[in-house]
Structure 1
Amino acid sequence: MDKFLKRSQPSTSGTSINSGGGESNPKKNRHYDDSYLKYGFTVINNNPQCVICGDVLSSESMKPSKLMRHLTTKHQKEADKPLDFFERKLKALSQQQNTIIQASSVNESTLLASYKVAYRVAKSGKPHTIAENLILPAALDMVEIMVSKQEANKLRKVPLSDNTISRRINDMAKDIQEQVVEKLKNSQHFALQFDESTDVSDCAQFVVFVRFEADDSITEEILFCKALPANTTGQCLYDMFLESTCHYDIDWKKCIAICSDGAKAMTGKNSGLIAKLKSIIPNISWTHCFLHRQALSAKVVPSDLNDVLKEVIKIVNSIKGKALQTRLFRIVCEDMGSLHQNLLYHTEVRWLSKGKVLTRVLELRAELLMFLQDAKSEYAYCFSDPIWLLKLAFLADPFSHLNNLNKNLQGRDENILTAKDKTCTLKLTMGVDGF
């Protein structure tokens, strides 16, 4: 520090006396002078900068002789130019630097805007091309009408191609995943929930949820979701679990519970996923998922009522499965002034969709009777049979309650206590002993 202070103090005589009595020439802390512009130099951060090439020299070069040497050696043709020439060069250099600074701030703004749009596209589940094909043109039209065309043109700098949106979504997903893993590592205990199902596109998906304590509250997040390319056996699920979590560096001894459905691939005694996970998580306890249990209970239907249910599904599929029949049925509903104009599909992937299907069929029973009679369908007698209609009405009521229960049992704030309360409430309301 003392040596630095001695170097920074200028000497009036140009020399200084050292401790040994000898003399030395310290480096002087020179400052920029406006007259240096005639040598083609301005100042930036107390260092000389050439206004012609933009090179920044060291602070020790703040001498007329050294500045002149740079001008004559690197810019020999401009060495004899008048002062006006260097002033114009200085003005051009300042404008260029301002443009760079503005471009830097604009780049940050466009980057943030691009991530915001990508977040909305991912949240809405729309195709990635919607940003460039719909969102950007709509934003340009609105800004051009409400503000000005010049301001609207600034939006064109926002990168919104489908590849860019996909990359932004992957970046945000990776960042969220890293945050979840970091919080999971800091938690004392956590629990896992597994679910494997096949969607409408016949793609088998394995999703793992994790519940842990963070910020003095119970947090539930998705640990990972992967598609299974081939089989969905317990071994395949176990291999997928290890492959997806091997780089997380999680202490699995903190895992105290696992929740899943009762499928053989999950709960098999020897080859199930739970049995294999006990080799690395020995102290875990397994529980059967509430949602899967009430879904299984809904499949237990008396034979006479089950026949009505099957007939309803066949009637709906015979109409919804053909575009012409769907259009003709819509015309019938419009002519009769119906509240609805379409039937609803029942699919096994959408849990307990039977409730909505049965309710819609019951509300459109008159329209279905007329349509099936005109089409001379074999199922037309169903909607003229009062006993069959009574069974349909009986089925629609409990399945509608099960639909509402299924929806209420889902969510981040749901736990075993609230789920049991809602299930017991439904049992008391419907007058049944159990599910």
Structure 2
Amino acid sequence: MEHGHGHKSIDPELLVFICGVDSEFNVTQELASVHSRHSTTTGKDIFNEVSKTITEYNLEGKQVQCVTIDGGKNMSGIKQGFVAQITTACKVGGFSKPIFLYFLIHLQALCLKYVDMSCVMKSVVSVVNVIRSHALNHCQFHNFLKEIDSEFVDLPYYTAVRWLICGKILLHFFELRSQIDLFLTEKNKPWLLLSDCEWIWELAFFADMTGHMNHLNLKLQGKTNLISDCFVHVKAFRAKLALLEGQVKVKNFAHFPCCEKFHVESKVEFPSSFVQ
């Protein structure tokens, strides 16, 4: 059994998926129910909604063999979280509790959050908000990119809960930095960092690194992926990080396309001190 969180307007939603395995080991996964929460989303709340789903499908608690969860306290908390609620229900019912598994991709996303990119992200998000939060600005910028036949025709909004968007927005921003600079200057809202070569180096570096992280993320997805496959991908990525670290130290940008591009354009050397 799996759960997922979604957002519609301001109300969180709980999506309950049920996975089953038949006698021939064929795996079937279906969305069992969607529950909108208009108040709290505590472990108890989630447990109650999941219990309703189990009852609706005429299942018994002892039939649940495995539950996948993320690292949120309302899910993984051993005192008040969803895990605690299930454990207590199993004790009361007199049957064994299921195996609890953590989302591997969720853990990978948490690791990415430990990378301090605030020196770049704060400015990037501010500029994107200037362009996208005003309908007129956004329309004019979109048309401007069309007129110059730009490969990228828009800037995506940054959303913290969608970890893949971070790499996408940094890549788009890097590729469109000249156009953004020109557009903001014409709007009498020049952004000085867009002419700061050291800051652009940092932008290029983080655009490349988040690209590598997103590539790993996509490899970890898919219904046919086994845990052994995911382990191989993670192990390979750890080895890749060692290679990337060595390349950065000697300013070899073979696996850093944005850095390589800016290296050709810029007269300022890569400030390797900020990645130590």
Deviation at 1:277, TM superposition (A): 0.7
Find the counterpart in structure 2 of residue 199 from structure 1. 7
One of 149, 155, 177 as aligned partner of 1:337: 149
Change (3 A) 1:335 1:229: closer
Question: Which consecutive unaligned segments of at least 5 residues does structure 2 have?
Answer: 91-95, 245-276
Counterpart secondary structure, 1:262? coil
The change in CA–CA distance for 1:319 and 1:411 in structure 2 (over 3 A counts) is: same
- Name the residue aligned to 1:324: 136
| Residues 19, 29 of structure 2: 8 Å contact kept | yes
How far apart are 1:361 and its partner, in Å? Answer: 0.6
Distance in 2 separating the partners of 1:334 and 1:225: 40
Q: CA deviation at 1:198?
A: 4.1
TM-score, structure 2 as length reference: 0.78
- 1:431–1:200: structure 2 CA closer, same or farther, 3 Å change rule? farther
How far 1:221 moved relative to its partner? Answer: 2.6
Match of 2:89 in 1: 280
SS of residue in 2 equivalent to 1:224: strand
- CA deviation map 1:158-210 (0-9, x unaligned): xxxxxxxxxxxxxxxxxxxxxxxxxxxxxxxxxx2222x24252231112223
Identify the match of residue 372 of structure 1 among 184, 187, 192. Answer: 184
TM-score of the superposed pair, with normalisation by structure 1? 0.51
Query: Using a 3 Å threshold, how does the CA distance of structure 1 residues 217 and 198 change in structure 2: closer, same or farther?
Result: closer
Letter in 2 for 1:211: C
Equivalent of 2:201 in 390, 394, 398: 390
The 5 A counterparts of 1:192-271 are 192-195=1-4, 197-214=5-22, 215-271=24-80
Looking at both structures, which has the greater relative contact order when contacts are Cα pairs under 8 Å and sequence separation is at least 6?
Answer: 2
Moved over 6 A (4+): none
Q: Deviations over 1:202-228 (max 9, x none)?
A: 231112223332243233332322222
Which amino acid is 2:38 matched to? P
Q: Cα RMSD (Å) of the superposition?
A: 2.2
* CA–CA separation in structure 1 for the residues paired with 2:184 and 2:229: 45
Structure 2 match to 1:300:
114
Q: Which runs of 5+ in 1 are unaligned?
A: 1-191
Contact 1:199 1:349 (8 Å CA) reproduced? no
Contact 1:210 1:223 in 2 (8 A): yes
Pair member with larger Rg: 1
Q: CA deviation at 1:315?
A: 0.6
Distance 1:244 1:409, change over 3 A: same
**Within 5 A, what are the aligned runs for 1:5-404?**
192-195=1-4, 197-214=5-22, 215-281=24-90, 282-302=96-116, 305-378=117-190, 380-404=191-215
Percent identity, aligned pairs only? Answer: 27
Where 2:47 maps in the other structure, the secondary structure is: helix
Q: CA deviation at 1:335?
A: 4.3
Aligned partners of 2:142 and 2:75: how far apart in 1? 44
Q: Structure 1's 297 and 200: CA in aligned 2 closer, same or farther, altered over 3 A?
A: farther
Shift in Å at residue 241 of structure 1?
Answer: 1.4
Q: Figure out how many residues of one structure are paired with residues of the other and give that number.
A: 238
| Partner Cα distance (2:53, 2:99) in 1 | 22
CA shift, 1:343, in A, is: 1.1
